[in-house]
Amino acid sequence: MNLFTAINNALFIALETDPSSIVFGQDVAFGGVFRCTQNLQEEFGPDRVFNTPLNESSIAGLAIGYASMSGGTAIGEMQFADYMFPAFDQIVNEMSKFRYRSGNQWNCGGVTLRSPCGAVGHGGHYHSQSPEAFLTHCPGIVVVMPRGPKAAKGLLLSSIRSKDPVIFLEPKALYRAAVEDVPVEDYEVELGKAEVMREGSDVTVLGWGGHLRVLEQACDLSKENDGISCELIDLQTLTPWDIECVTNSVNKTGKLIVSHEAPVTSGFGAEVVATVQAECFYSLESPIQRVCGLDTPFPLVFEKYYIPDKLKNYEAIKTVVESANNNN
Amino acid sequence: MIRLREMDTIFQNSQRQGRFSFYMTCRGEEAIPFGAATALESQDVVLAQYREQGVLMWRGFSLQQFSDQCYSNESDLGKGRQMPVHYGSRALNYQTISSCLGTQIPQAVGVAYSLKLSAANATDDGRETKKAVSLCFFGEGCSSTNDFHSGLNLSATLKCPVIFFCRNNGYAISTSVKEQYAGDGVISRAPGYGMAAIRVDGNDVFAVHAAVREARIYALENNAPILIEAMSYRCGHHSTSDDSFRYRSVEEVQHFANESDPLIRLQNFLKHHKYDNMTDDDFRIMVEDEKKAILYAMRKAERKPKPSLEDLFTDVYNEMPPSLKAQQNQLNEHIAKYPDSY
């Protein structure tokens, strides 16, 4: 399966196993602009899989209201993460605080909002954004970003079944590009847990989402050229994030690179850096490096220069290891 | 309506005395919540703005519960987390109020969509089911929010049994309707959404009741939304943080209080109705009884302890994440170190 078929498969299972579940958003009825919802309306009918008007706040509000009623499962789609901002009030002021503010009388834990995110080669300002850090600053919601088809299916099923509202960000560049063996059966990947993709001893390299493909290449390059052993971690869930997994790794390697496509200032990398320096101060052998997008809007023709590509990460890995060696 | 008016007066005065932090009355608009609530069934779900506490009162929310919420004590169902008047009750099918204006409008559509599917599924399975609508209150100021448009358009395209109830009381804080819209009020927008609508005298409890009763029948028969615009006047200040005489005249308020008070209008009806024949003395006794009950509930609420500090941390998520647990431990240790400062 590629990423969109894995998502489609997870949605199929969710609709089949939970009669209260509904799937909706802009253009989902004919299968979605990325084909993630194809054949679902034919299979489950227009009452459970349907189009909404072009209005993100509607989608989020509908999801919250539906989920507030006796545990209904609402799976909404925002066509691009870049267009989530009109729904921000519903997400930040309503969805995230619904349980807390009512003293747990009411909740909207059945909400999952899926949205394509990240660079795609030619997406310009509004088809490329990675808005995760805007969301991680908001207590009460879970933010998830899978790195490929297999993780995506398990994480999406966990998100849909989670008792907390989840924003599920799908790296759109991988919808067709990434192909993996994905189990056809129903399975879940636990939320709030990072995954160590590769064990290593010299440096911890941390990322999430589609960007891990870039980081894998950077780790390969470091191994081939410089014999550096990288421990590569996929955070998978950004809030609440797996602090223990990351700090265990950094306590072992003594070095950390955090890399994400979103702009560097106040990106989620900053949160990781601050936490790791507090928890692992005495283990750190060199300054933590962030390899991120620039503090500019996401540019069209300059995309190749903007993104934190494998060479930028390779350089950072080398610098961090050399700086530690020079200090010893 | 007498109970609500007396509660509003006493609670507002209590806020003025610093007994709690904030209050909002619905003076002059009491016919709206009672007219509406009496036309609904208990399975109907209400999503309100903040000036509709009469619905909860009609449904059985006690004076003690109102007091406990305003005093943020350990009996508050909301665990003391929200400002006063942000009531909610799962048992009474009344979703918890939030301060953000208009956000409840598209949510009411989601609620109605759920009610519609449940009713259809029950019918398919041959079960007996009670059909239900969602009723969403908002003020005329709220009709300018993005979510007003979001919710109304969504409800019409999705064909949901929801009643949108606009309290048009002339003002959004200091902003008069002249600065709020240039069209014919709020009702004039309904045809553009392909939606039925009714405008009623919001100070006539029977008119409000009839409008909601008919709207409910219409919404359920057609699986369609409907908009009610109830014309009223906000006789009180916007809130205890507002002095409304800085932007409107005492004469204007007096005019509405004298000429169209919904409580006086109902009392006149009861005095002249041959089955009731109530007298001014009857009303005076009722007022005194209510005052006593309110003061009793307040005194009791005032004496109750605040909620447990654990409630600061719970319910953010269904289960407390480790990072939040760590913050809880940190705060507890800090307080243990400086017990006299908190």
User: For residue A161, what is the domain's CATH number?
Assistant: 3.40.50.970
Q: Which of B114, B123, B162 has the highest number of chain A CBs within 10 A, making it the mutation to test binding with A?
A: B114
| pLDDT at residue B129, as a whole number | 77
Please check whether residues A113 and A262 belong to one and the same domain: no
B79 touches chain A (CB under 8 A): yes
Question: How many Å is the Cα radius of gyration of chain A?
Answer: 20
* Cα–Cα distance list, A286 to A266, A317, B33, B142 (Å): 21, 11, 65, 54
Taking 90 as the threshold, does the pLDDT of residue A71 lie above it?
no
Average pLDDT value over all residues in chain B: 96
C-beta atoms of A65 and B106 within 8 A: yes
State how far the Cα of A229 lies from the Cα of A56, in Å rounded to an integer: 44
Q: Which residues of B touch A26 (CB under 8 A)?
A: none
Residue A258 lies in a domain: yes
The structure's pTM equals 0.97
Please check whether residues A94 and A156 belong to one and the same domain: yes
Please check whether residues A130 and A167 belong to one and the same domain: yes
Choose, from A56, A77, A170, A216, the residue flagged as catalytic: A56
Please check whether residues A321 and A208 belong to one and the same domain: yes
C-beta atoms of A72 and B88 within 8 A: no
Q: Is A125 a catalytic residue?
A: no
Residue A38 lies in a domain: yes
Residue A109 lies in a domain: yes
Please check whether residues A107 and A62 belong to one and the same domain: yes
CATH number, domain containing residue A269? 3.40.50.920
Q: Which of A68, A235, A239, A246 has the highest number of chain B CBs within 10 A, making it the mutation to test binding with B?
A: A68
Q: Rounding to the nearest 10 degrees, give the CA dihedral for residues A241, A242, A246, A247.
A: 100
Taking only the tens of pLDDT, chain B with its 342 residues reads: 999 999 999 999 999 999 999 999 999 999 999 999 999 999 999 999 999 999 999 999 999 999 999 999 999 999 999 999 999 999 999 999 999 999 999 999 999 999 999 999 888 888 777 899 999 999 999 999 999 999 999 999 999 999 999 999 999 999 999 999 999 999 999 999 999 999 999 999 999 999 999 999 999 999 999 999 999 999 999 999 999 999 999 999 999 999 999 999 999 999 999 888 899 999 999 999 999 999 999 999 999 999 999 999 999 999 999 999 999 999 999 999 999 999
pLDDT digits (tens, 9 = 90+) for B141-179: 999 999 999 999 999 999 999 999 999 999 999 999 999
Shortest CB distance from A68 goes to which of B95, B154, B322? B95
Range of the domain at A312: 195-327
pLDDT digits (tens, 9 = 90+) for A40-54: 999 999 999 999 999
Bond prior to A165 in cis (omega within 30° of 0): no
B83 touches chain A (CB under 8 A): no
Please check whether residues A293 and A144 belong to one and the same domain: no
Domain boundary residue, one of A140, A174, A208: A174
What is the bridge-based pairing of β-strands B175-176 and B171-172? antiparallel
Using DSSP, state whether A260 is helix, strand or coil: strand
The domain at B2-303 falls in which architecture?
A: 3-Layer(aba) Sandwich (3.40)
H/E element, B20: none
Residue A187 lies in a domain: no
> Is residue B185 classed exposed, middle or buried when 0-12, 13-18 and 19+ CB atoms within 10 A define those classes?
middle
Q: Which value does ipTM take for this structure?
A: 0.96
A62 touches chain B (CB under 8 A): yes
Tell me how close the Cα of B136 comes to any Cα of chain A, in angstroms: 12
| Counted domains in chain A | 2
Q: Is A56 a catalytic residue?
A: yes
Residue A110 lies in a domain: yes
B105 touches chain A (CB under 8 A): yes
State how far the Cα of A316 lies from the Cα of B341, in Å rounded to an integer: 47
Average pLDDT value over all residues in chain A: 97
A73 touches chain B (CB under 8 A): no
